[in-house]
Structure 1
Amino acid sequence: MQSLKGIKILLVDDEPNILQFLEMGLLNEGLEVQTAQDGMTAVTLAKEFQPHIIILDVMMPGMDGFEVCRMLKKTENVAIIMLTAKDEVDDRVKGLTLGADDYMMKPFSFEELLARIQARIRNQFPNLMGEVVIGDFRIDDRRKEILYQQRVLELSTTEYELLKFMVLNQGIVLSKAKILDKVWGYDFGGDENIVEVYIRSLRDKLNDKEHRLIRTLRGAGYRVDIS
């Protein structure tokens, strides 16, 4: 597992034992950690501490985790992993609809939490991880450079952002609308078929003639498959 030093985490849970356990473990991994036992404190701390990730319990007295998520996603650039003790699909859907980035069921292993944190950093704050290696890809966000099979790819700025987004979300089907929103921006007013043009160019540069690396799922979008 790559180093998580310098990553700031806010833990929010009304159970002191859980907070203490997670705080000790995350501090030992080199993360900067703050804790809160209620929603209002969490909102205030988030604005002051500016965490990269919030581990947020759903069931809390007063302001619950859903409301905390809703408020912070409006104003803060933060990844939110929600925790719940209830195996309820409706809760998961509600949290994700409000902007949560991931969901974990209690009880969970500390190792799984670390893996989820690393995944969120890779996806939302890749520059904090330095170089990210996924399969045959090496992404260096500081140099805006991607290597594939130890070869530097000659990419335009948009090609770089598109390939980085797809590789970081490898295994996930990405619709054209999702790609446009994340790579071109929500206010892009052009034709969504521009995605096809850039995908074609990336396949050429990756020598992906048989579309085994960047797959097309008709009617759904694209998926990067990395063995």
Structure 2
Amino acid sequence: MRLRPVGEDSLLVDLDTPEEAQAWHAQFLSRRSAGTLAPVREIVPGEKTVLLYGVSDVDALEAELRQWSVPTLAADSGPLLEIPVHYNGADLGAVAELWGVAEGDVVRIHSSIEHRVAFCGFSPGFAYMTALGEKHHVPRRAAPRTSVPAGSVALAGPYTGIYPRASPGGWQLIGTTHVRLWDMEREPAALLIPGMRVRFVPQEPRLESTDGPAAGTNAERRIA
């Protein structure tokens, strides 16, 4: 763990792996909820970092963190969200070929594991979800699409993501969902937040890939 001051009132916790960043992020949230963390305005996770923004005494917090033991992340920590998916993506066949399996096996593998939101970025509501083992990592497309439909479920590197709105993108498209990822009338506006666990639930029949999913309702949320 490397602690780096950022400006006058923030501290960046720099870790070696995404898993360590997720464990530290969960630890910070837990301690803040319990009132055992120094006042922090925002806790912002990244791929391998956690930014503690708006700290009243950076030096004191840094000294405190150096006394902590390395946290572990419980498999069942965080709320669980189930997201219905039609596995009809334009790149499903390409992903199957990269994995050396049939298309149905891509669906089975992707939907049988519990994913976790590591961090958010790219566009409002876009979450980077981890869980796929190294043998199931896939490269981005050599030629990005100029427009990816909203609701597209996609893979790139170690991550699964869902496009909240139509936008350019180079991820491998494996499916579509009707859930709303970003809604300014909802609190919080983002459906997917760091630390959340996610399961993808296959829907039948598989739809033909078109201009994208129609507007739909929010996914069903249940708390573990």
| Shared fold (TM-score, shorter chain, > 0.5) | no
The structure with more strand, counted as a fraction of residues: 2
| Bigger relative contact order (CA 8 A; separation at least 6) | 2
**Structure 1 length normalisation: TM-score?**
0.27
**Structure 2 length normalisation: TM-score?**
0.27
